[in-house]
Amino acid sequence: MHIARTARKAATALAAAGVIAVVATSPAGAAADGAQDETRCATIAQVDRNLRICVKTGPGIPTHVWVDNKSGVTYFGVQLRVVQHNGPIVRVGSPFTLHAHSIGGMEQLGLPNGCYFGQVTLGGTPWYGTAEPACV
């Protein structure tokens, strides 16, 4: 699994700002019809306040889901998934190890315009997700 450079920068900026949920607008992603890139994040306080799950989508870009682990804990068997708002699970990623103080993510190409949640399970925990979807 990998994460695009733009998603990594967004995750770092969001974590540095201490923001729980945000809508980020990217001028490069703005379409002629006014559509914008959106990033939504949520702290996974049930597990650790230093864990955040994020989803980003926008016109003409892949949908990215990532988890930002600012804690000193390494999690094994971590999986990410993309879920369509009021719809099905779009994709479940392969399990991976999320090391302490790292970011792990995935991207999904070719999704139709719509709204998507990012969700994560940390080695058998319930699925935790963004409270709001990112939409395009």
- What is the spatial distance between Cα 120 and Cα 126, in angstroms, rounded to a whole number? 8
Let me know if 69 is exposed, middle or buried by CB neighbors in 10 A (0-12, 13-18, 19+).
buried
Q: Specify the pLDDT at position 134.
A: 94
Mark the ranges of the chain whose per-residue pLDDT is less than 70: 1-35
> Which pLDDT belongs to residue 25?
33
Distance CA 119, CA 100 (A): 19
- pTM for the model: 0.73
- Give pLDDT, residue 37: 86
Per-residue pLDDT, 27? 36
* 8-state DSSP, 13: H
| Domains of the chain, each with CATH number or no CATH | 5-135 (2.60.40)
